[in-house]
Amino acid sequence: MSENQVNGPLHGLKVLDLSRILAGPTCTQLLGDMGADVIKIENPATGGDDTRSWGPPYVEMTDGSDSDISAYFICANRNKRSVAVDIATPEGQKIIRDLAAMADVLIENFKPGSLAKYGLDYASFKDDLPGLVYCSISGYGQTGPNASKPGYDLMAQGYGGIMSLTGEPEGDPMKVGVGIADVMCGMYATTGILAALRHRDATGEGQQIDIALVDSQIAWLINEGVNYRVSGELPKRRGNGHPNIVPYKTCAASDGHVILAVGNDTQFQRFMTWLGLEGQADDPRFATNPARLENRDALYALIDPEMAKRPMADIISGLEAIKVPVGPVNTLDQVMESDQVAARNMAPGLASEDAADGVIPVLGNPLNFSATPVTYRRAPPRFGADTDDVLAELAEDQGKD
């Protein structure tokens, strides 16, 4: 195995992580998976990242007690070293400035302007550290009338419009089942950091990246956002239906639910024949996708009772045989135990001396590089576990100057 395969494509990159909760930690975990050395700064006054206490469940310790590693903390904090520093103190501020001098990237998600009082904002760094890439994640961004407002995933989903599109037609607006605004913001931040690093490597010039949860959420309204901008018409909630394709939705089977995704008229003809409704495929109300959009309720009144008579396995095998897109609605046990997840290593475990069974389960990184694969080097750390090691490295580095 080559050195690159062991170390990852970002080996040698040092990231100073002042973020917490989910958006920033998602970003830094991605960078860590790709080989970066991520130093996670945690506040000793609060016991570290807020999500350490967002449980149960927690990782069980070897003595049977709960650790400070919750499942929520696990999801975004592998491949990091935890360092306890109180940035409200002069000593803590000096440590952060010294670590920033060693770093390529600094990431923070404090309320805009709040780090200035500690001398840790971008303006305080840019002259002394001109090559530093400084990424600021916030709810609404560093500018605009809402810049001072706190930002949370649920608020971003509400303000940015995705909740108005999600849920049953007659139900309440509904958030996505996980903190997707946070996660997508973290992914956009990762992309921005990699682009800024390329610019830095070419010119020596660092910069600040200003990224907001709400901006990110608006950006991934994708077709529904553009549908509105083109037509001026507000989209309607359609449950699991699609605004532009019919039939495309979840369907009840006799023993669960399946996803039906008929993407064109030829597939629709095959589907209706398989369902025993071939005569209906030529009905002018259903013969083309625009017609089916106009008459979706009438079509579903025909389809749904027939689908409900059949078990999931028969529907999936039958439609796959005639090349009509179909799939199961899996529960998480079915997901994690599937052959596909095993083949793609999407449910790995990380060795941990703290865990009762010696392993902390995580979710896999979906990136698969042919030459520089992602690595799972470090289990999510206990609070402050690496403080002494990192500060010793800092002293050694300063001793070389």
Task: Give the pair of three-digit tokens for residue 225.
Answer: 């956002």
SS3 350: strand
- Phi, then psi, of 248 in degrees rounded to 5: -155, 100
Catalytic residue among 33, 49, 182, 215: 182
Q: At 392, which amino acid appears?
A: A
In angstroms, the Cα distances linking 369 to 6, 8, 37, 118, 366 are: 12, 9, 19, 40, 10
How would you classify the pairing of strands 66-70 and 133-138? unpaired
| Phi and psi angles of residue 225, each rounded to the nearest 5 degrees, phi first | -65, -40
Residue type, position 356, single letter = A
> Backbone phi, then psi, for 282, in 5-degree steps?
-95, 0
Helix (H) or strand (E) holding 175: none
Q: What is the largest CA-CA distance in the chain?
A: 83
182 catalytic per annotation: yes
Which is it for strands 349-351 and 105-108: parallel, antiparallel or unpaired? Answer: unpaired
Which secondary structure element, helix H or strand E, spans residue 100, and what is its range? Answer: helix 90-102
Q: What is the distance between the alpha carbons of residues 219 and 17, in angstroms, rounded to a whole number?
A: 25
Where in the sequence numbering do the catalytic residues fall?
Answer: 182
